[in-house]
Structure 1
Amino acid sequence: MNDINNYNTFTKIEPIQKGWSSDKKYYVETNSGERLLLRVSDFSEYEEKKHEFDLMTQIAAAGINMSQPIDFGVCSCGKKVYQILSWVEGEEAKEVLPSLSEKVQYDFGREAGRMMLKMQTVESYPPSSDWANIYSERLSKYIEAYKTCGVTLIGEDLLFSFLEQHSSCLDNRPMCLLHADFQSDNMVITPENKLYAIDFQGSGIVDPYYALTGVMVTAEVSPHFSIGQLHSYFGGQVPEDFWELNAFYMVAESINAFAVAVALGQKEVDYSNEMIKVMLEWVDNFNNLIPSWYKNQDTSTRL
């Protein structure tokens, strides 16, 4: 890696083991005291990683609190691709939120909603059939991967029946440039109590409701944050069509996550099945698409 720009200024390089990404990640300090995040990938991913870096550059220009893109290039004598980003000091929101008051969790959620609204001003497209075509193709790949994984997930018949009955909800959707995994695992709360977004890998032009499925993941650790995010994003009143699409995306992505989990081992399969059970409990086996964590929370946190 010594052919990375300014590598001679690096005084500390520590590997980071967290996350499922195939990237090699490192915490870096320079001789001027700057702290950085270094991500290294195989050169075969050059186009994908360049696209990611360009998207982060676009989003950062909107003034989002986020890990800032600094440099991109080729290293290891042409065998690797690197990204250098600013380091965000703090703790994962997932770890911090449960220890905070319900009101503070809600307020952080409202900030997340404002961040999403700001992101989607960077690049947006009006409702059309484009997203339905894109996501239908993606869903077909999810289903094929599941069918060939050799293991049956909990509630299979119920999940596939829901997808079949509600596929029309994909019709005529807008698209925006957004963080496509915007949930508490990918947010940091700094020592100054500021919310920052990190790990923009996989982001792109998507249905905003798809990007909002992160609220369901975050709700497991902080329903108050998720409620705040939805209230802020929608200006107070969550539209009915959101809940149908939210359930559709959660089912589709759960099927995909299960197929991936099978390749990773029984522990991940068990976790994936448990998350599906939790989701089905939230929506009463699709008898009520507004999840219980949203309906049952004390309204005093929603001020």
Structure 2
Amino acid sequence: MFDIPSYSSFKKIEAVNKGWSDDKKYYIETDDGRKLLLRLSDISQYERKKNDFEIMKKAASLNVPMSLPVDFGVCDNNISVYQLLTWVEGEDAETVLPDLSDIEQYNLGIQSGKALELIHSIPAPSSQEDWETRFTRKMNYKIKKYKECGIRFKGDELVIEHIERNKYLLNNRPQSLQHGDYHIGNMIVLKDQKIHIIDWNRMDYGDPWEEFNRIVWSATVSPHFASGQLHAYFNGNPPDEFFKLLALYISSNTLSSIYWAIPFGQSEIDTMMKQSQDILSWYDNMSSYIPSWYIKTSN
């Protein structure tokens, strides 16, 4: 990192070990008092990281509350790509939420829903593959990989049947930018109770409603937060079509979460196995398409 143009202004550099990304991350303090996040990636990621940086600039221009892009380039004698972003000072939403009142949780959910609406206002490129074709292929792959992985959860046949019965819902879905990992683990709550979105390294384009597949993490910790997110995004209660698609997307993710967890050890497997049972409970063994945690609004 010594050849980053602003390196001489770095007075404090601390490794950041949180998260699942392969990027090397550092907390930076500069001579002029700025707090930054430095992400280093292999040079083979150059085009992807450059594109991510440009999209982040576009999202920032829409006033999405987020870690702001500062600088991008090549370093370490051309073997690394770097992104410099503003550091978001606060606490992880997943840590903060359980200590807040229901209304405070709900209000943070409202903020997250409004932020997601802004993100989804950025359209997908016209060259993007048809969503039904792409996601059907993805679901078929997940079913195959799950069946081959050697670990099965109770009720998995109900989830697989639900996917097969509801694939038709993918027809004619629009596509937009997706954050790619939108849940309370990637949200920071500031001292003034404002929420900021971090970890933009999984961005993609797809059905904007698929983005809610990670809401399971938010709903597990705070149904009020998760419900508030939906109320803000849809300006009221979501339509039935949304809930039907959400059940399909969550079903697909439930299968892939099992084999995804295997390399990370028994603790992650146990977490995903428990989540599979929570999901089956929320959806009454897939006989309902509205999850039991959802709190309707009368507005």
User: Could you state the TM-score of these two structures normalised by the residue count of structure 2?
Assistant: 0.94
1: CA distance between counterparts of 2:129 and 2:226? 29
Q: Secondary structure at the match of 1:3?
A: coil
2: CA distance between counterparts of 1:74 and 1:139? 37
Kindly report structure 1 stretches of 4+ aligned residues shifted beyond 3 Å.
none
Gaps of 5+ in 2: none
1:240 corresponds to which residue? Answer: 240
User: In 2, are the aligned partners of 1:209 and 1:245 still within 8 Å (CA)?
Assistant: yes
1:111 and 1:289, CA in 2 relative to 1: closer, same or farther beyond 3 A?
A: same
Letter in 2 for 1:43: I
1:47 corresponds to which residue? Answer: 47
User: In 2, are the aligned partners of 1:180 and 1:210 still within 8 Å (CA)?
Assistant: no
1: CA distance between counterparts of 2:148 and 2:38? 36
2: CA distance between counterparts of 1:8 and 1:140? 51
Q: CA deviation at 1:146?
A: 2.6
Q: CA deviation at 1:9?
A: 0.9
Q: Secondary structure at the match of 1:236?
A: coil
1: CA distance between counterparts of 2:156 and 2:213? 20
2: CA distance between counterparts of 1:93 and 1:169? 32
Letter in 1 for 2:192: E
2: CA distance between counterparts of 1:95 and 1:28? 23
2: CA distance between counterparts of 1:134 and 1:107? 35
User: In 1, are the aligned partners of 2:155 and 2:285 still within 8 Å (CA)?
Assistant: no
1:2 and 1:200, CA in 2 relative to 1: closer, same or farther beyond 3 A?
A: same
Per-residue Cα deviation, 1:100-133 (whole angstroms, up to 9, x for no partner): 111111111111111122222232589x981112
Q: CA deviation at 1:284?
A: 0.7
User: In 2, are the aligned partners of 1:29 and 1:36 still within 8 Å (CA)?
Assistant: yes
* RMSD of aligned alpha carbons: 1.9
Q: CA deviation at 1:26?
A: 0.8
* Count of aligned pairs between the two proteins: 298
1:223 corresponds to which residue? Answer: 223
1: CA distance between counterparts of 2:53 and 2:147? 34
1:135 corresponds to which residue? Answer: 135
1:171 and 1:273, CA in 2 relative to 1: closer, same or farther beyond 3 A?
A: same
Per-residue Cα deviation, 1:182-231 (whole angstroms, up to 9, x for no partner): 11111111112211111111122221111122333201111101111111
Q: CA deviation at 1:177?
A: 1.4
1:60 corresponds to which residue? Answer: 60
Letter in 2 for 1:63: N
User: Could you state the TM-score of these two structures normalised by the residue count of structure 1?
Assistant: 0.92
2: CA distance between counterparts of 1:239 and 1:169? 14
Letter in 2 for 1:10: F
User: In 2, are the aligned partners of 1:129 and 1:172 still within 8 Å (CA)?
Assistant: no
